[in-house]
Structure 1
Amino acid sequence: MLRKTIAAIAGGCAHQPWSRISQRHSSVVSSAVNSMLLRSLKEHYLEVSKMAPPPKVNPPAEFTIVKGALDSNGPVLTRCYKNEEISISVMRLANIVSDEGDNDNDDGGINQLFVHIDVSKPGMDDSMHFLCGLYPDALGIHSVALRPKSSTDGFVIVPNKYTGPLFEVLDETTRDAFHNYIEERGINDSLFPFLQAWLYVKDHRNLMRWFQSVGKFVNGREIAKATDAAVAGSSESKVAKGA
């Protein structure tokens, strides 16, 4: 009797589409999660799109804005000084030096900038690179190095030879001379207002682009799933008709 009862239960279970129910449940949950994520991304995108841009600021007259700089990681400003070509790249100083105790969030939290200055001369294989911290009222040099000229868009170059001593170990006279060297070429805190505004616009654009890209990715996967399901359903229908 017991064996017959077990066999009957097993036979009944064999006819239950548990795998299909599980798949449908998983699909419903996945769709709900994706819909929630897409809704959140859209809300944040709209919120960010309503943020007012900073007032328009022009760079010092001797500098030219590099075309397409907002969409690259390369130089932002360039200028010629005598026979030299000078280019400037910028990013948040907080991206390089983490300071957990820094609570200065004014102006969108962009009050400390990391600036890379490249000074090159025709006919010379190397160019002089200055890595500096730029503030609203000051500019400080972190390092000075001679490195091969780079033709890439990025401004972070990995050196393959000795690049010089740490800037802070140089004597005060030499440090002051280097500061005067870049000051003579227009590299000072007068660059801060423009670079601060420019970086705000770049961050804003990148954030909006990120919300769009992630949303398209999530939505694209949903479209792909729906397409696969439709193709599978069509195939099953054709098989059934053929049978």
Structure 2
Amino acid sequence: MSRFISRIALSNVCRASVPQLARRAVPISRAFSSGLVRAQNTTSQLSEIVKSEHKVALAVDNELEPEQEQFLADSGFKVIEGKYESNVELYKTLPSGEEIRVFFDIDEVSDVELGAPEFGAEEGVEDKEQFDEELDQFESTFANVKVFISKPESNDGLFFNLMLQNSEEELFVDYFNYKPDAAKFLEQVKEKGTFLSSTEYQGPQFSNLDESLQLAVENYLEDKGVNEDLADFIFAFSEYKEENTYRDLLANMSKFLAK
């Protein structure tokens, strides 16, 4: 069931609520009184529905799968998150002394649907064409994942913008660049939530690079732990955190309506 109110339905409600010229004027005191009762009724109704939805949500287990807990233990990544924030950071120090940070937004990741539409072999050419169109649209959906690998001793690093595809739990390089001041860059991310300044060179489009360079970059990231296991964890953790955040929203909304 959708958590959002239809614009059409809302529009109809608004139109229905506009007084018609032919209607008899209602005394001010009576209008105020009936309006107050309606407000109380709608608040009470919403409060009850929110409580019910919260109860249903809590009845379903929402824990990270054992393999995801194991991923954190094996990889050494630590999760840095805010209770009411959608942005998540994974952080660890590599054996080389380098630091790696992975940034993603659970709202963006949760919007990426896994699994592709399927058509039976017996279906006709029109269905096949429809499938191709849907597949093209499907493949264009992805979430951005940011990776920053820095050297504390020299205070610089490499930044990679990756794409997390919906059809496969894999990470693909979009572009990369060099950050001469790691501390300044991380402060920019923290304060402004941006990874590129307005005048900064983004970096080359990865798909346009020589294949040998593409492969070398992919192997470099794989060696740093940027792999399919990380992609799988990002999907799983986003779903887990989104559900917890939704439950918190319902709980806080219920408290607000009860005041």
TM-score, shorter chain, exceeding 0.5: yes
TM range (shorter): 0.5 to 0.7
- CA shift for structure 1 position 69: 5.5
* Counterpart contact for 2:109–2:235, Cα < 8 Å: no
Find the counterpart in structure 2 of residue 11 from structure 1: none
- Distance change >3 Å, CA 132–CA 213, structure 1 → 2: same
Residue 45 (structure 1) aligned with residue 59 (structure 2): no
Give ranges in structure 1 of 5+ residues lacking alignment.
1-16, 105-110, 221-243
**Aligned residue identity for 1:115:** V
**Aligned residue identity for 1:207:** Y
Aligned-residue Cα RMSD (Å) equals 3.3
TM-score (norm. length: structure 1): 0.67
Find the counterpart in structure 2 of residue 138 from structure 1: 170
Find the counterpart in structure 1 of residue 186 from structure 2: 150
Q: 2:150 aligns with which of 84, 105, 120?
A: 120
* Counterpart contact for 2:102–2:148, Cα < 8 Å: yes
Residue 174 (structure 1) aligned with residue 213 (structure 2): yes
Partners of 1:103 and 1:74 lie apart in 2 by 30
SS of the residue corresponding to residue 65 of structure 2 reads coil
* Counterpart contact for 1:69–1:75, Cα < 8 Å: no
Find the counterpart in structure 2 of residue 200 from structure 1: 239
Partners of 2:111 and 2:38 lie apart in 1 by 42
Partners of 1:96 and 1:50 lie apart in 2 by 21
- Distance change >3 Å, CA 187–CA 112, structure 1 → 2: same
Q: 2:29 aligns with which of 9, 17, 20?
A: 20
Alignment coverage as a number of residue pairs: 197
Find the counterpart in structure 2 of residue 209 from structure 1: 248
- CA shift for structure 1 position 67: 4.8
Give ranges in structure 2 of 5+ residues lacking alignment.
1-25, 119-140
Partners of 2:163 and 2:194 lie apart in 1 by 15
Residue 189 (structure 1) aligned with residue 221 (structure 2): no
Partners of 2:173 and 2:80 lie apart in 1 by 27
